Amino acid sequence: MDYRALGHSGLQVSVAGLGCNNFGRRMDQAATDAVVNKAIDLGVTLFDTADVYGPGGLSEEQLGRAAGCRRHDVIIATKFRGQMGEGPMRSGASRRYIMQAAEASLRRLNTDYIDLYQVHSPDPASPLEETMRALDDLVRQGKVRYIGHSNFTGWMTADAHHIARAYRLTPFISAQNDYSLLNRAVEAELVPACRQFGVSILPYFPLASGLLTGKYRRGEPMPEGARLTNMGQMSGRFINDRNWDIIERLEAFAAARGKSLTDLAIGWLASLPHVGSVIAGATSPEQLEQNVSASTWRLTPEELAEVDSLAR
């Protein structure tokens, strides 16, 4: 396992991260325990969850129990901002809500600190300075070690950097966004901003909800029980002729090198210098092993250029 510093910080994280959005939803405690313990054994340190996963915080609860006595061997990243109950007081990025959400996550995770606390999405109702001042207070109190954001744009990343510098606040060190060989929108503005301001990208949906695993085939029935199968009409966001064309080109590229489509999807991201850790979910130890193995492939500059052409 390789480890990298997140942004301009000393926090070292495993290149292969584990997305925990299946905990409490598709996985019970026993299945969560098996995957978490296998991940730690394989050298995975970054475990990414959120208060809204589960639902109702169940993912955090199961992760906290699974980490148990191995808590100090892992980096727990969680998020706030989503709706955790009825009414305007149970969501957002205001100072009032952040303090409440952090305490609730600490209780569910059964820990006294959060390694990486992330704004799940921008909150237009709360000034970014207010959000960052509240997060800075949590860091100074020792309840949070580092902070990150998710689903921010390039200009928001720049704005956050200047706010932190102007008021000497804790800066964001990570940006978690949808990023894969089928969705490269972040490369237009977010990636350049992150490079400029010392922020690492944490890609989520690196396998495009499973479309980059090779288990879906053009013109063939959808696999029973698979994520995209259960999405119904919403699966059209991923399943279309443009994506099939890209997938078939990429699959041929990977096969010529004795690799799978999953190897390429994760290995490509792991080969990019602006990526800190690739956040991929797993519902079994076997699936986790495949993801970790895929994260060890480092494409050459020539291969990166060819993949860039094939996936553009």
Q: What is the pLDDT of residue 297?
A: 98
Domains of the chain by start residue, with CATH: 3-213+266-298 (3.20.20.100)
* Known catalytic membership, residue 179: no
Within 13 Å and on the Cβ side, how many CA atoms surround 252?
A: 8
Q: What is the pLDDT of residue 165?
A: 98
**4 touches 276 (CB < 8 A):** yes
Asked if 138 contacts 144 with a C-beta cutoff of 8 angstroms, the reply is: yes
- The token pair at 228 is 């995209």
pLDDT of residue 214: 84
Task: Tell me which amino acid residue 205 is.
Answer: F
H-helix segments, 148-272: 154-167, 190-197, 227-230, 241-255, 261-270
Query: Residue 2: is it exposed, middle or buried by C-beta count within 10 angstroms (0-12/13-18/19+)?
Result: middle
The catalytic residue among 3, 53, 146, 204 is 53
In this prediction, residue 228 carries a pLDDT of 66
Query: What contacts 251, CB < 8 A, 6 or more positions away?
Result: 214, 261
* Structure confidence at residue 284 (pLDDT): 97
Write out residues in the chain with pLDDT < 50, as ranges: none
On whether the CB atoms of residues 92 and 80 are closer than 8 A, the answer is no
Question: 154-167 and 190-197 are packed helices; what angle lies between their axes, rounded to 10 degrees?
Answer: 20
Give the model's pLDDT for residue 233: 59
DSSP assignment letter at 184: -
Closest CA to 116 of 134, 143, 94, 141: 143
